[in-house]
Amino acid sequence: MQKIIIIGRPNVGKSSLFNRLARQRIAITSDISGTTRDTNKTQIEIYDKNCILVDSGGLDDTSELFRNVQKKSLDEAKSADVIIFMVDGKMMPDEIDRKIAYSLLSLKKPLCLAINKIDSQKDEMRSLEFKEFGIKNMISISVSHNTGINDLKDFIYPHLKSEILPDSGEYFEDFLENFDENSNIINEIDETNFQKKNINVGIIGRVNVGKSSLLNALVKDNRSVVSSVAGTTIDPVNESFFYEGRVFEFVDTAGIRKRSKIEGIEKFALNRTQKVLENSDIALLVLDANEGFNELDERIAGLASKFELGVIIVLNKWENRAEKDFDEICKDLRDRFKFLSYAPIISISALQGKRVNKIYPLILEIYQNFTQKLKTSHLNEVIKQATINHPIPSQKGKVVKIYYAAQFGFAPPKIALIMNRPKALHFSYKRYLINSIRKEFNLTGVPVMLIARKRGENEEEK
């Protein structure tokens, strides 16, 4: 199985990224430099391909112990198939980072420079200084906010081997002419089961934003204990509700607070919240409309993105707010939560029950979008028109072609682009294609996974 290694100096966030990609807390993280002294390894899945992820010890030669750690990390890099070189975006590049970059470039392996802790426009401008390393693939990320992680997956994915969708031997136009709408493009998915199962909805947010009040309003019962004491809810609280012939399974999770303020059994509650989201289809992200949004709100929002859920952003405590404030607050939200640009925003008062009833049809709509099959001929027409409007940039003078697109999964929708040079599809062009798809299909509230694939493993690029 192919191996991806995360390498870099101490305290740049390697172990946090390792845990993020592994979707579980494996590596110990702390603010103490040199916490990781050995390599952690685990099998992970990047979209539909399996690989081994390696968290290496920090590169530091200040003592004999750390010199041994550095040697082991560099040896692991030599045997890896893909290297992620991680740096601290809050710092300017220095000579040590430069030397590491040059040594990794000399290995002639797929290499990505992941610039972590990019949380503002100022950080983004500073990150441009790392271009001097000469690493072609640079991605700005924030592990704590879960931004840029999908771009990182998009870089890794083409370098991993897997079974390829059956090669039709057709080009784009031939495929559209001969496509049979009754054929089953989505592999082994029981659509009937998705249309009958309970819709699992996780309610997430900071402490004391009104999650328990919202659950009570949604199920029309005092199911969850409500108090002004932050952190009242510890265990997840489940309650079923019937609407339009469907069962909504609501789960009120424990409120999340800053790590430094988590006390006693609340540590277990945080783990249970993540377990709830693993089994959810849709997240209701509850925010306090009367307070400014902060870094913790962004991190909690990142959980919904991390688990690839449908999302509704709920502005609670709207009792005394004027409707004219709504547009201004939405603008602030869109600026902060760019990674949830697809999520609808609704203002409510859970305490007074105002507009709570608007959440039910929105859940149904988003779940329908979450599990829908996109009409393949229409999907390919959208891709074709998008490439006509803005042609795909060539790769060193070589033409880059999309032969056709095929949906291979849903919950959320997963689309494969069958191409001659999948590695040449830039992240920004992929975002352009996703936006083009969103304009034609109702995908409100759900993420779209777009993956570039080659028509055949052994087919030569022409």
The one-letter amino acid code at 218 reads L
**82-88, strands of its sheet edge to edge:** 40-46, 49-55, 3-8, 82-88, 111-116, 137-140
Q: Which helix (H) or strand (E) holds 308?
A: none
Residues annotated within a binding site:
8-15, 55-59, 116-119, 205-212, 252-256
Q: What are phi and psi of 37, to 5 degrees?
A: -115, -10
Residue 115, burial from CB neighbour count under 10 angstroms (0-12, 13-18, 19+)? buried
Alpha-carbon gap, residue 131 to 33, rounded angstroms: 26
Query: What contacts 55, CB < 8 A, 6 or more positions away?
Result: 6, 14, 15, 18, 26, 27, 36, 39, 40, 41
Question: Which two tokens mark 280?
Answer: 């959810």
The binding site for GTP comprises 8-15, 55-59, 116-119, 205-212, 252-256
369 with 407: CB under 8 angstroms? Answer: no
86 contacts 14 by C-beta, under 8 angstroms: yes
Contact present, 55 and 36 (Cβ < 8 Å): yes
Q: Torsion angle, CA of 428/434/435/440, rounded to 10 degrees?
A: 160
